[in-house]
Structure 1
Amino acid sequence: MQKEGKVVPLAAAIDRGGRMPLPCLPVLLLQVRDKAALQLRQGLQDLFDNADDTLFEMADKALDRCDQNLYFEAMRDLRLKRKSIERGFLDIFYDTFARIGQVDLLAHLADAGKPRSKAQVERAVAVEGMVGRVLSRDGIALQQLVLRLQVLLDRPLYEQHNPLGPAALCDYFLDAGRNLGVGLRVKLVLLKLFERYVLRDADIIYNQANQLLRAAGVLAELPLPPRRRAEDRRMRARRGPVTKGQAPDADATGQACFNALQTLLAPVRGQFAPRLHSATSVQPVSTADLLRLLSHLQRYVPATHQADDFDLGQQLEQLLLRVSVRSGTHRRIASADEDMLNLVGRLFAFIERDDNLPASLRPLLARLHIPLLKVALLDKGLFSRASHPARRLLNEIATAAMGWECGSKGLRDSLHLKVERIVQRLLNDFAEDASLFAELLDDFVAFNQDERRRNELLEQRTRDAELGRARALQARQQVQQVLNQRLRGRLLPQVVVQMLVQTWSQVLLLAWLKQGEASRAWREALQTMDTLLVSVTPPQDPQALLQQVPSLLKALRDGLTSVALDSLATREFFLQLEQLHLRACATSSELPPGGQRQRLSDVLVAEDIVLAIAEEPACAPLQVADAQAAALQQVQRLRIGTWFEVLDEAEPQRCKLVARIDSSDRLVFANRTGMKVHEWSAASLAQALQRGDLRVLDDGLLFERALEAVLDGLRRRQVQ
């Protein structure tokens, strides 16, 4: 019989805030629980560390503005509630463990007959798929754990009531996140992240628990469950450091990928052999020796501002020639290593001429040729794993720098200095330990997140300002329209026309902007204007006018107060309005004296009323020719976040599409910092694209684009 214990880790007790009573469980079971809690805590931390980036990428790719706002709000909500979700998850986990084996078998019947919403059904389907994948992968280890827990508890424990089962872990996460104010789509994304960062490591929890119980003699005769394949382990590892002086086992996928590439690279072999005609024998240089030669050359990579006279092929050839002369043996590079040299060389040749990259970035990235070549020689997984730290670092730098200014102004900003420091650090410190790339990647991602958030804030302000401007323009045009409908072509008192155009138009604008065209405030403002116009138009029935005047005066006074009209001007207007009402009810013999008659003269509104500061779209819509139809379709398909390069200026300028204002047919562009720099209408942008005044940049991942271009070139060469 195991001893009972109430000892729990201090960290766990703090997390639960002392709210839960300590369970009276066997010590072995407490140890299983605490080891599992540590692993789950780490998985949750990884989940939330990566959730921000995932949601931002989804917002960046979203075509609809509502979807973008949805993901941005989810990012904010997740940041605010992260700690409470982590704490709630562990609280539920501890509470379930405290009641292990004491579950009411009829409890599930209470919810069985309840109708479920569409969202609940979709969530249940997603969870079912996640649970199925864990069971197919780690089912044997989980079954052994259930058997051992039954022996330890001395009572049956069904798999669905196992607190460490995948279904239970999913339930903990869903329960802990109930107060998240996000929709179904975001919840499904979070479930996918939960699978990637928590359930992916479920085998660690099960194996640790099985090892602990097996060592204590609980069903020690059970055979060890099969371990996951080494490839799965490598894919799961956060980092894959390479021990200095020891090449790692090539991952099967990476080796297979490189083997396929060697067929394409075979025709270009023979470029790295020293010209020794008197050598009696040929001996290939080992990969370890080649790495040492590259490390020697790495120290002499010139700075970007120096003359570009450093050719890696020539430098290697000279070193091999020197080694061959000293040894008396013709030394050459092995075929596989030469293929890798050719492949990486072609990748960097593409990078150096890729005009999607800022001109100032290309020479910086070119200095990474030798470090990336050494990584490729050490780990061929560089070509098969998109998550490889060296590959990701190159992609992250290229993506972050997409909006760099090509002129001298962009050379000394914080991002440029950061990239310079990363490149120099790799040249100075990288020998054969690839974990340096992972360290620099983490550092750069953290730096870039801070900078990206600042830029996003400015972009959002630019968007809000442009949307506000468009809405104000739309409101002004609507007010102009209703004023012209009621005033144009009519003979009306000058004082009333002036008040409606100069002051009441502001009341209408305020009502439209604040509450919209369908609002009660807008309708009442229009009704007040119509009543005013009727009241000053003779002939009038005095009795009817007396009934209208009190409510009219009150509505006018309330409206003028809302736009803060000067009290003296308000008083003067009401005095004149009183005279107009008297005139409307009077006969010609009862008209006011001549001076007053002059003040109350009528005017013919002969032209359209144009309110002050009426703005037009920056680029008026143009007639679209048939030849421009394709360019216009391209413009209509553009997503928010697409990068452009403007070529019709003194220096090329890079800008990003940050807002599409449909109401005024405007596309707004900002620079990398989020400041507005250009705007076009859809038709004028299509014309500019067709003329070549600007071009769309390919902001796809750099390594992937380079590799695809190199392979296409090799295939064409092979066909020829």
Structure 2
Amino acid sequence: MSVNARQVIEALKSRYAVKESASVNVNTEDVTQFLRNLNPDQIPKDHGILETVAAQKTEWVLAGQDIAILHSIRDCMAMVFRLVDLEEEIAVRLRQVTPLVSADLLEDPCAPLNPGKENIFTIVDLLMDATIGWSADQGRAGEKLLMQVDEVFTGLTGDTPDYVVLQNSLNDFLGKEKSRIQKLEERLAASESGKLRSQRGRTIAVESMNNALEGKLLTQNMVNFLKGPWHESLQLIAITKGVESDEWIRATKLTETIIWTLQPISEADLEKANAAKQRLYRIMEHLPGEIEDLLLAVEQGSDAAQATLETIEEDHVNIISGQELEYVDFDLFEVEGTRIAKGPAVSRILLKKVNNLEPGQWFTYEDNDKIARIKLVLKLEDVKQLLFTNRNGMKALEKNYDEMAYLLSSGVIKPLNHASVFSSTFSTIYEGLIEEHQKKLKAAKQADQEEAEREAARQKAIEEAKALARSREEEDQRRKEEEKEKRIKKAREEAAKSENRERVAEITEAVANLNIGARLKLPAADGELEECKLAVRVAAADKMIFVNRTGIKVGDYTSEQLTTLLVAGEGEIDDAGVEFEDTLAQVVSKLRQDRDKSYDDLTGSES
């Protein structure tokens, strides 16, 4: 992930909800210097470096980015110690780097995200990897390692630590240690691998043979063969070819077939019994050749091999001739004086964990309340055996796959994290926080965009509604005009009749005398007559505007149009209204009469 310091700081401030204070009174450089000078005894075990700064510098108000970084260090260090299990003597030393890591991160928040660059993270990774197998009982080699660790920590706490020099020095020491230990491990693996294969081969051969023999009927000849040269041959195949080989699979199936040929045929049905016998005869015909191919314990073609095959053929001849076989009692094999019990099979999931183990992995092994640190140095897949050593390259433990699967599942053996745990913990947490913050920003941007789109859609809907309303209003007005024109046209036709000539003249005069406020009944939108009054009369344009009781316009007409409607009976004049000039004259006359009256006369009060 390619990031810059600003992205790291913004992500950390978002994670820890840090707001910038207006009263910041200390710069990052001063905080960094304070951390580098911090006494190791003052470093808290819970990694709360921010609380340590606050407790010792009560007057300081840190910048938001410094607070966020110090918060993150507490969480990252806590995670490191959850992931890795170190001896307390090593853990104490590791805690001492907390203020140094804090100082480096304040100077460069991207430090954990720069793989390959020498810094405090790569050095601590090396130290943790080197000390994961350390314990106090490792003698001089353990003491030497501890001295080197202390030397590195001393270099880290200097005024200007040179990470390149420190890392090169540590690599030189660890390289020599690795070479020394590797020689011991290789020598041990070479000497033990043959023993483990032989031991495991014998054990597997015994288990396989016991599984095949248990509950079966055998003659003395067959007991001698199976527990003698055939058992020895199985061991040789397991040791030399491996238990996953085709030869081993073929040998175990052949063992079952040999034993099957001696079991009584118990078919009650005569036809089925005869069929079983025919199958048995066919198998017995080819059996000697197959046995001879896998009879590794006896030289092929030798007199001993021929004698061995003849003892088997003796029983088979008796079967073919119909003679009764004489079965004998026999014991199953024992290993080291203990009968091998058939236990429950280990699950595939548990075995898969063992199959995925790689040499070089470290574990803790608890035995009688004591915990040892062991390293897997040898994995023999053919015989399913594992060999472990301590850090000094000395043999510590050997287990087969099934045993290891059980010990892992029960927690007796636990895997240890040690490869780049320190740097990877910081980088993983930082990258996760950055990714989370970017998702939040993206979500916020998306939300703003969606809100803007919703607002735009709302405005568009409003405009469309207004446009639709205008369209409907225009359509309604057009329809009204059409209705009006139809009525006027019809009224004109009626008014044009000769018998209405006098009425036209009469109504024309009445219309001409209509005053503001005149009350009429005129056609509404539905054609029904509606009470209305003359609200406006524009003489110059010969236009009269009528409104209903609520003040809503009913229509506008010219004198000719209104006359035509009235003549045709499409309207009625209820009240012609008071002429404005008459009203005005009355008001002026009244004012003149009252001009010479006193206040008391006007108000009606007595002096």
TM class by shorter-chain length?
A: 0.3 to 0.5
Query: Quick check: which one's strand share is greater?
Result: 2
Pair member with larger Rg: 2
| TM-score (norm. length: structure 1) | 0.41
